Structure 1
């Protein structure tokens, strides 16, 4: 199952959610691969910091871009982060993928399906593959979304994020599903509360329910947590003696459990 957490607006928690859901699913016993498709490589940075807890130095070589342009198996770039959890890292060179694809003797359909074709040989090796993506609309991102089976739409409880979610879904339908027959579907809208349960949070959630329907909104939500911000500096920790680690992992575990249930319900 290939999944991406997406919204065309930045700062909606895509990378953090990708990392934490992958972590929780791996802890539940599923075999999970994260593929960083974002030139900013924030997911790669987070995971390499996490890996460094083992006193292991890991370099990004080869990057996802290098694997793709040299037509190498993606398995050549896999870095194991912990049991059941692996990463294919990105670097700044991922910025050049769109330009590189445009220079190849490929038709439009082949260009937008290039990543999907590269992932296909390894797809069955994993229960879940998460693709992390930048918030911009580009040929690279089209490759990501066409490779996906499911999208989780990240909805930060801000009006701009709601508009971004609506705009992204319109783009998905018009430019990818209608034009390229993309088989990707939306698993649900995942709210990211910026102020807990403030009046604005609840107003945006109610607007989202009116727009997308209650059944399409995840019951479990993500709240802004300082511990997640700390992970950006330290890497992910899971200290059973830390109340903050426990609370953070518990919140994302609930979302991961619901994600699995939603997938089971869509079989």
Structure 2
């Protein structure tokens, strides 16, 4: 059975894209077949993985069509591209901003349950290909939107990304409250919380520790990941140039080794939390 996970927070700039892509990357390295589904019109996951492909293959990633076109053609598989062994991308583009309008024209207000049909439509299309993958990782905007609702309708688990600042904690709490309301609103949804992922603004900062303690009190100690993503400058280079690693590029150094080791640990903890046996 495929595991579908969304990385989320209602606060922007907390590292949702970085952590969803890096987790996907490490799961793929562990032998799991992973599809990154970029449900954000800003297409940040698509950009990061496109740069990763270009860096590792010394050529640009060619996208024959966007996800929006594939949706209109009712064939998501036609837009999927391979980034590396076991890692695939369903790419977003600026045209994906038209998706809410497409749904409004497809499911009119005079239809029974038209609101649910709109947010369920992507899951309906995804069902044709989801069994080809072990994991589908969703990246969504930090907003109340049809994009977020679409992911929530599809997923099995939520990873709430918590950057150690008060606004991020507020956004995490607001997202979880919304997700609970969403869960009880629709009979066909069935997801749990995989955990709260702490992402440090600064290493060994008092405010970081205070936010993590507040999160433990708010969500419960057991729901906090034991793996903590510490501040690492190398991740900024990945955003600009793509993910580098020994065996793929000449840019690899001990900073890359440190980053990949940390995210491999995170991927292993996610496997444990969602009840999947580790291939390693």
Common topology (TM > 0.5): yes
Q: Which residue of 2 aligns with 1:78?
A: 80
Once residues 68 and 91 of structure 2 are traced to their aligned partners in structure 1, the CA distance between those partners, rounded to angstroms, is 9
Structure with greater proportional helix content = 1
Alignment of 1:54-203 (within 5 A): 54-72=57-75, 74-105=76-107, 107-174=114-181, 176-181=182-187, 182-203=189-210
Contact 1:150–1:186, Cα closer than 8 Å, also in 2: yes
| 2:159 counterpart SS class | strand
Deviation at 1:227, TM superposition (A): 0.6
CA deviation map 1:78-116 (0-9, x unaligned): 111111111111000111111211122351111111111
Q: Which residue of 2 aligns with 1:264?
A: 275
Contact 1:194–1:224, Cα closer than 8 Å, also in 2: yes
| 1:238 counterpart SS class | coil
- Asked whether 1:248 is paired with 2:259, we answer yes
1:46 to 45, 48, 59: 48
Gaps of 5+ in 2: 109-113
| 2:37 counterpart SS class | strand
Q: Which residue of 1 aligns with 2:221?
A: 214
Superposed structure 1 runs of 4+ greater than 3 Å apart:
none
The range that moved more, 193-202 or 96-105, is 96-105
Deviation at 1:265, TM superposition (A): 7.7
CA deviation map 1:143-168 (0-9, x unaligned): 11111111100011101111111111
What root-mean-square deviation, in Å, do the aligned CA atoms of Structure 1 and Structure 2 show?
1.5
Q: Which residue of 2 aligns with 1:27?
A: 29
The TM-score normalised by the length of structure 2 is: 0.91
Once residues 127 and 52 of structure 1 are traced to their aligned partners in structure 2, the CA distance between those partners, rounded to angstroms, is 25
The TM-score normalised by the length of structure 1 is: 0.95
Gaps of 5+ in 1: none
CA deviation map 1:193-232 (0-9, x unaligned): 1101210000000001111111000000111211111001
Matched pairs, number: 264
